Each structure stands twice: as structure tokens, then as C-alpha cells.
Chain A
């Protein structure tokens, strides 16, 4: 099902949470809403779920206007950040809840419900744990139960609010893969909220980046990483070194750096260079730096230090290019690629 949010505005206590947001999510897509806290991403998710209602704008499910429909009438699956499992019910009863509460005419028979619960528990790899209570499960298992419960009603769209936020790094990684697998198996349109850009880039088909209640950019992970629409996206998605300076005649100068800035108007500007785009340079090119910290992280060596202008920088070298590099070493670096945005 296609979901459209059109010109959405929402305020909390006069503080704007969403400020004219328009977004379209295609049938079967896995979309990430990415942004820092307070960017309005969770609010947008709750508006789509019908847990909040906008002051202005429309929410459409296909062509159907659902702006003011209650959550119970939308048939969405919502997975909460803290799972929100019913603590007094067993895992099986939790998963069955959405079917149990249906009106008699639409409710499947007891056997069908049991069968469906078994299927779902198998899908999330929790078969055999149906009789447990939520407080007898680990965080990752609870998250799977929440997922199975949301999927039980055959939702038209699956919404997940910071689904991995409360889990430790290892569980988080494996559940990410799990979510992708379940999405591919069920084909249900899925939107998840995250503040973790790595998670968004790894998992999603497309990423919508929010900041201060507005959408900054929507695109595939490659697009938002390689062609950021502005300084916010560039700084938020992936790490980047920042250089403040000026553009004159399509050339950026600042922080000891000179760069081509095609199409950028004259005036003050900010240049961004990704750590892996900083490469060793020959004399007469690039700028001088002093390395203060050199740490090997697997195949990549992270170098942190200061430029001669006193600005902090970070560069990532492949390990073979960093032989014999130690703190205190003087280097000459040049950006192989940079982004310049008018300030």
C-alpha cells in the first residue's frame, strides 16, 4: 500500500514538531525516518499510525483519506520503542491479541488463531516460547514478540519506533538482518524511525532525513551519502570534516584548504570532506596536519589531529597506507572529494 503524507503540520504546546512535511512511501518499500532527537520523526510515525492527529495536512493510505481515522481503524502494525508488550499476558496471548479483539464476524476461529500465532512465532524464531511471560524474555526476544504481535493482524503498513534503540550492539546487528529478512518474506510496507544513520543506511530501501520538523532529503542510502542535499544531511549522514570559509569565483578557500566549488555563489560557505576522502598528498597540494591519535580499527586506521590552522580533523586510511604512522607525525593531506554548501 502507498502511504502519502501531504503538507503535515503538528505542534506540541506551541513548539512545532512538524513543519509542512510531504512524503510518499511506495508499496512494499522499507523506508527509514532518520534524524536527531527532536526532529519530528517519531511524531510523523505516530501520525501515520493514528496515535496523533495533525493540525494541517493529509495522511492518505492509497487514495483513502485517513487523516482523522482512529488507530484502531487503520490496521497498522506498530512496534514501540519499549516494546509495550502486555505484561500480564503470555507471549502467545500477546501475539493473538489483535485477532482476539476482532468482532465476532471477522474473528478467525480459535484453531486458526493458534495456527497463526505458531506461524508468526516461527517467523520471528521464537517457536516454543509461547507460554512465557514478557518479563521472562531478553530484550531481543521481546522485540521479536512485539514484531510478531504487530504482524498478526496482516497490517497494511508496519511502523517501528526506534526498534533497536534499547538493545546492545550485537543483538541490534542481528535483529537488523532479521527485520530485513522478515520484510522481504512478508512484503509489507515498512517505515522505521531511527537516529542511527548506520542502521538507516544498512537496512532501508530509501531514507528520509528530518531536521527541525522538516524533511531535508529523501533518497536511497547511496544518494543521501554521495549526494547530500545540504550541510545538515552532509554532516549527519556519515562522518565529515567541516571547514568554514568563502567562495569567490567558484573556488572555496578556508581552514587552509582550497577547493573547486562549481555552481556555488560567492559568499561565505562550508566545505565538508569525509574522513576516507582525505588522502596523502604531494607538496604544493592540500594542507599540513599533525596526527595526535592513530588507532587501528580493523582494516581501517583512524587518524585524528589538528591542521596548522588549529582545526580538528579526522582521516581514515587503509591499513597498508598507514604503515609506521605514529602520534606526532606530520602529514600532508588533500581531499579527493568534497562538498561545498553556501552558509
Chain B
């Protein structure tokens, strides 16, 4: 006779569960954990001293500063843009809406290298605005503005993508209620819309930040790789690695990993702190 066990219809037998878990665990160790460990093992191969020295080196410090500056500009900008775009898409009806949504997704589907090249073609010395920019002594390509622009482009969709489904689900009822009670547009946004999207907004900004600090391809094209000037952390890691300075490369890479861990920790804390238990969709 069969043993009568109370089991959910969607629940698999125990051995299948164990197998799936084992596959996932193996995959995680091989693809995620081992490489992370390698970064720190390689960085500390000759002890803590050389690793710290590689981080304190002026070019490395300049790279870290540039990376933080880039993220500090790109994240607020894209947060603002993301709110505007999500607001437009989720709360209004207009003819070119599907087109706008596709456009928001463009940076995800275009190779970052292509994104970088577009900026070189537009703002570079031989580009459309090249002469005008040189005449007015404005440097964009091979300078900080170009790096910021490329980063903004690549991290465009994160906040908008996080907010659009949430705002669509929430609808416009609460906003309409606020307006009918006499609230101005701005007041409605701050008192009603903003509190309803704050967790998803923070979440999107964290994802945006992680990508902004880690972006390589697009930034590589527009940077020019001038040490201590236009090298971001990922670019600095590459240069050190190509010079066979493995300790230096992995030490800086370790700092990047550290920043990523901070971001992920904040994200996890957000998920726990959030009143409804889960962020976004």
C-alpha cells in the first residue's frame, strides 16, 4: 500500500530536490565563489604589504576616485531619468509608448563597445561636433565627461525597468484621489507617488550603482587609458594585468569586489527592511 503523505501537487520527490540543489550549489561554487576566492588569493600571494601598496599607489587612488565620481554622477542622473520615464510610461497613455519602452531597453541590447564608439563618433576629434568642441576647448572623449556619458548610457535602464512594472501595477487611482482632494501635481508626487515607489527606486539605484562602478567596455573605448587621469578601476585592473603586475591587478580587483559586496549587502538589507518583504517584481 502507498504511504499517504501530505504533499503539495507542485512538490517533487526528495531525491529530485537534492539533485537540483546539488547542481545549483556546484554551479555557484565553480562560476561564482571560486573566481571570487581566486581574486583575494592572488592579491595576497606575496602578503598583505604589496597588496596594500598596490592600492595606495597614486594611479590606483586616481582610478578609484574617478570610478566613485562617475557613479556619483551617473546614479542620481539615471534615478531622475528613470522616475520620469517610468512616470510617463506607467501613468500616461500616448502613441509612441511601445517605442519609448524599446528605447529604454536599448542600452541592454547594444554591446557596450558600440555604445562607446557612438560617443567617439559624435564627440571625438573627427566626430560631428569635434571641431566645435576643439574650438571651444571642451574635452569630452578621452576625458571624464566621456566616461560619465558612456556610464550613464550603459546604466540607463536599471531604475526605469525597476519602476515601470510597479507603477503600472499601482495604477493612477491614488494620484487621482490626491488631485481630487486638492493636491497640486508636485504635492501629489511627493506625498503619494514617491512613498509608494521608494523601495523599488532604491533597489534600482543600487543595481545601477553596481553596474556604473563595474562598467568596462563602453568606458574603455572613450577613456583613452591615461594613467592617473582617465582610468577607472576596471581599466586600471586590465592595465596592471597586461603588465604582468598580478598582485596589483588582483588587489585593485579585490577593492572592486569589496564595493560589489557592499552594494549587495545594502540590497539584501533593503529586501529585509522592506515592509512588503520583496522588492520590485
* CB of A217 within 8 Å of the partner chain: no
Chain B residues in 8 Å Cβ range of A78: 176-177, 180
In Å, the complex CA distance between A80 and B182 comes to 16
| CB-nearest residue of chain A to B275 | A88
Residues of A within 8 A of B138 (CB): none
Produce 1/0 per residue, B175-203, CB < 8 A to A.
01111111110010001100110000000
Contact with A along B88-124 (1 / 0, CB 8 A): 0000000000000000000000000000000000000
Binds B, one of A68-76, A186-194, A262-270: A68-76
Further pairs besides A98-B181, A101-B178: 19, Cβ < 8 Å: A72-B183, A73-B182, A75-B182, A80-B173, A80-B177, A82-B173, A84-B174, A84-B177, A86-B191, A86-B192, A97-B178, A97-B183, A98-B182, A101-B182, A102-B182, A149-B177, A149-B181, A152-B181, A153-B182
Asked if B192 and A72 sit within 8 Å, CB to CB, the answer is no
* Band of interface residues on B: 10 to 19
Q: Which residues of A contact B184 (CB under 8 A)?
A: 72, 101
Report the bound CA distance from A211 to B179 in whole Å: 29
Question: Digit string of B151-186 for contact with A (CB within 8 Å is 1, else 0)?
Answer: 000000000000000000000011011111111100
**With a CB–CB cut-off of 8 A, which chain A residues contact B178?**
86, 97, 101
**Chain B residues packing against A (C-beta within 8 Å):** 173-174, 176-184, 187, 191-192, 195-196
**What is the distance, in angstroms, from A162's C-beta to the closest C-beta of chain B?**
13
In the complex, the number of residue pairs spanning A and B with C-beta atoms less than 8 Å apart equals 63
Q: A72, A75, A150: which contacts B179 (Cβ < 8 A)?
A: A72
Distance from B169 Cβ to chain A, minimum over Cβ atoms (Å): 12
Q: If the complex has contacts A87-B196, A88-B195, A101-B183, are A71 and B173 also in contact, measured as CB distance less than 8 A? A: no
CB of A84 within 8 A of CB of B182, answer: no
A87 touches B174 (CB 8 A): yes
Q: Distance in Å from the Cβ of A182 to the closest Cβ of chain B?
A: 18
In the assembled complex, the Cα of A152 lies from the Cα of B191 at a distance in Å of: 18
Inter-chain contact B181/A153, CB cutoff 8 Å: yes
In this complex, which of B178, B180, B196 has the most chain A Cβ atoms within 10 angstroms of its Cβ?
Answer: B180
